[in-house]
Amino acid sequence: MPLPGIYKKYQDRGGLGLRNRVFIFKRKPGSIVMAIILLPLLCLWGINVNPPHEEAIMAYSLANRVIVVDAGHGGFDPGAIGPAKNVEKDITLAISNKLAYHLSQSGALVIITRDEDEDLAGDNFSGSLLQRKRKDLAARVSLAQENKADLYVSIHTNADVSPRWYGAQTFYSASSEEAKRVAEAIQAELIAQLGNTTRKAKTGNYYITEKTDMTAVIVEVGFLSNPREEKLLSDDQYQEKVSYAIFCGIAKAYLDG
């Protein structure tokens, strides 16, 4: 999906290490003010569970923060595949792009790990699939580390051999109180705005959460193995709803922090 016009893609950031994956919010006159005006309207468009003045203030909490949005899987690695053949790597990319849009609209500097169907191991990598996956994950972490990100948000879908399980859930490292706070804020918004999950934020031992120095969370946006949730996750409007709930959770976490 092409990103909206308020993004600008930079091929070179003067040796800052951002390469071709950084999208900067164009700070036109009054742009932050406009974002603040629009935020209450966006909440009314979705499921507004917060007072309008609180939603308006959220725009300030993300200004100038460096946030990595990581679309899980990609390229050789499709991730989970649902009963109707929807593929995790496509869903995570769509939701990540939408999340990056909301974050950037509020003044954050957004670094995306991928904006197309690719992995980060590199075209010239040679080795086993497991080695390639490890290289891919290490490259994602390095991208965040090099650019001293404040927050790393990795988007995935869940899956299970049983199709009965459903519901979005956020994971964080047990060693990080800050990650717990952000994860719980995101999960609260997923519960309130999606209305189809009662899951709680949970600790997990994952490469991304354990190898990054910054606050890092993984959002499993739903079970691709559940036919009903697979259908929802492949729907553009539902993807927008998920991305906005995650955005609200991040903004509120920083507003309260």
For the segment 75-97, what is each residue's pLDDT rounded down to a tens digit? 999 999 999 999 999 999 999 99
Q: DSSP of 162-175, one letter per residue?
A: STT----EEEE-TT
User: Is the separation of the CB atoms in 111 and 103 below 8 Å?
Assistant: no
**The pLDDT of residue 252:** 93
Exposed/middle/buried for residue 76 (C-beta within 10 Å: 0-12, 13-18, 19+): middle
Tell me which residue of 69, 210, 205, 214 sits closest to 145, measured CA to CA: 214
CA 4 – CA 98 distance, rounded (Å): 9
**Mean pLDDT across the stretch 236-252?**
97
User: Is the separation of the CB atoms in 190 and 170 below 8 Å?
Assistant: yes
**The pLDDT of residue 44:** 38
Exposed/middle/buried for residue 119 (C-beta within 10 Å: 0-12, 13-18, 19+): buried
Answer whether residue 6 is part of any domain. Answer: no
Answer whether residue 7 is part of any domain. Answer: no
Answer whether residue 116 is part of any domain. Answer: yes
**Confidence category of residue 55, pLDDT binned at 50, 70, 90:** low
Q: Which one-letter amino acid corresponds to residue 50?
A: N
Domain at 82, CATH number:
3.40.630.40
CA 58 – CA 60 distance, rounded (Å): 5
Least confidently predicted of 17-31, 144-158, 194-208: 17-31
* Torsional class of 195: left (φ above 0), alpha (ψ -120 to 50), beta (otherwise): left
CA 10 – CA 18 distance, rounded (Å): 8
Number of domains forming the structure of the chain: 1
**Mean pLDDT across the stretch 163-177?**
97
Quick: pLDDT tens for 213-238: 999 999 999 999 999 999 999 999 99
What pTM was estimated for this model as a whole?
0.82
Q: List the domain range (segments joined by +) for residue 163.
A: 22-256
**Confidence category of residue 202, pLDDT binned at 50, 70, 90:** very high
Tell me which residue of 93, 129, 107 sits closest to 1, measured CA to CA: 93
Residue 72 scores a pLDDT above 70? yes
**The pLDDT of residue 27:** 33
Answer whether residue 169 is part of any domain. Answer: yes
Q: DSSP of 20-32, one letter per residue?
A: T-EE-----TTHH
Residue 2 scores a pLDDT above 70? no
Answer whether residue 16 is part of any domain. Answer: no
CA 106 – CA 187 distance, rounded (Å): 20
**Mean pLDDT across the stretch 228-257?**
95
**The pLDDT of residue 57:** 61
Answer whether residue 93 is part of any domain. Answer: yes
Quick: pLDDT tens for 126-139: 999 999 999 999 99
Answer whether residue 90 is part of any domain. Answer: yes
**Confidence category of residue 42, pLDDT binned at 50, 70, 90:** very low
Answer whether residue 11 is part of any domain. Answer: no
